[in-house]
Structure 1
């Protein structure tokens, strides 16, 4: 059972982050920044999420391996065909707490850790480290 979401997905070592938010919230921009830190593109703007002993992301059929860079254009990328999702970022919600509580994003009975987006200078680096090393409570 697959669902196509209005989201961008990039991955480090096959571990994906699903970037959610309304149009213009910076999904592609965050994806680009994470790619500059070593992530690979899975899908931009539309991401297919499948349930198979966890959540996995792929590009919907026919979606070209491109990512939008506002003010620059559509950029080609070497896509990763599939990534296990380990984190969701919601750029439609702003984090107000310095050390926020654990949150979850639910999809078809499966939970992913969720962070809200303060698009601060350290945010992309923090997301990369979260994906690769996890979070301490």
Structure 2
């Protein structure tokens, strides 16, 4: 991975594709990651991941300072199994201003790589199912 840099995101891998989960503090990024892990996703990083390019794709890796750790509100920072790397296929932002429905994903450029991006209202469940559907319908293959 070339020129890795830190991004303030939580990240999980779902069937070999990474999803970056972003949003303001307290919007539920870690809680969403926990729900996705409960459904079979693998943790890559919580509250900070390393990103870098390989073969034109953006890849996510755990940050060495927080590798294998996930903040579970009311319980603390707990250890979890951690995946070493996955190509980023989707960026999800938890946002109170998210639209009710969309016709297509937005695009977000990170380090010169264009990624499909969606905003989800953080208070409407089931968010884990919505992320899985978003990855299926809008994520990079």
Q: State if a TM-score over 0.5 links the two structures.
A: yes
User: Aligned Cα RMSD in Å?
Assistant: 1.6
Distance change (3 Å), C-alpha of 1:96 and 1:62: closer
Structure 1 residue 93: Cα displacement: 5.6
Bigger shift: residues 1-10 or 56-65: 56-65
Partner of 1:76: 79
1:134 alignment partner, SS class? helix
The structure 2 residue matched to 1:24, chosen from 23, 26, 39, is 26
Separation in 2, partners of 1:60, 1:41: 11
Structure 1 residue 100: Cα displacement: 4.5
Runs of 4+ in 1 over 4 A off after TM superposition: none
List runs of 5+ in structure 2 lacking aligned partners. none
List runs of 5+ in structure 1 lacking aligned partners. none
1:125 equivalenced with 2:132 (yes/no): no
Equivalences, count: 134
Separation in 2, partners of 1:114, 1:77: 26
Partner of 2:5: 3
TM-score by length of 2: 0.86
Conserved? CA contact 1:57–1:82, under 8 Å: yes
The structure 1 residue matched to 2:117, chosen from 108, 114, 118, is 114
2:81 alignment partner, SS class? coil
Structure 1 residue 123: Cα displacement: 2.3
Conserved? CA contact 1:9–1:43, under 8 Å: yes
Separation in 2, partners of 1:115, 1:64: 26
